[in-house]
Amino acid sequence: MNPHDSLISFNGFTVLLGSKAEQQLIFSEIKEQLLTSERTDVMIVQKNWPFFPYLNLKEQVFLDISEKQKKSKQEDIQSKLMIDSSCLKKAVDELNTFEKIKLQLMHAILAEKTNLIIEDPIDDLSITEIQDLLVHLCDLVNEFSFSILLLTHDLSIAESPYVNFCKEAS
């Protein structure tokens, strides 16, 4: 195994539980490891998305996605993730955190990524959105064979029945 894969090796729906300071440190370390890794199957899902402010929202979501992939899967994925078609017509600053996360999940499915690392979005989501997110993440693991690492400080998320593994950050 590549030594740079130590933090980016996980299975199922894994939660890494730690303080916000620990999360920031670990998240920085993960990003650094990904930059030096040759892995192309990993995607980072962040609250402060998109990464390319010069692209419009649709261009961002479908970046590096072939027309064939987009046409064959887009409607089904939008339906599964409960993404309203009007969401893709919004300006980036009109999106809430949950919409940003769902659009990134759609991109991950279309781009055939199999490993997601998710920055803690919990503080920015309502209870209903958190529940919906957990269901979506569980579905990605079960239906699409994703492996997901969610960094959070929220013990209730770590103890959720949707989570397969929980590790303490240290």
Domain ranges of the chain: 7-168
Distant-in-sequence, close-in-space partners of 37: CB < 8 Å, separation ≥ 6: 2, 4, 5, 8
Q: Compute the distance between CA of residue 23 and CA of residue 27 in angstroms, rounded to an integer.
A: 6
pLDDT value for 13: 95
Structure confidence at residue 91 (pLDDT) = 87
The CATH architecture of the domain made up of 7-168 is 3-Layer(aba) Sandwich (3.40)
What tens-digit pLDDT sequence spans the chain (170 residues)?
Answer: 343 345 567 889 999 999 989 988 988 888 888 888 888 899 999 888 877 878 888 888 898 898 888 888 899 999 999 999 899 999 888 999 999 999 999 999 999 999 999 998 888 999 999 999 999 999 999 999 999 999 999 999 989 999 999 988 87
How far is it, in rounded angstroms, from Cα 155 to Cα 164? 14
pTM of the predicted model as reported, rounded to 2 decimal places? 0.89
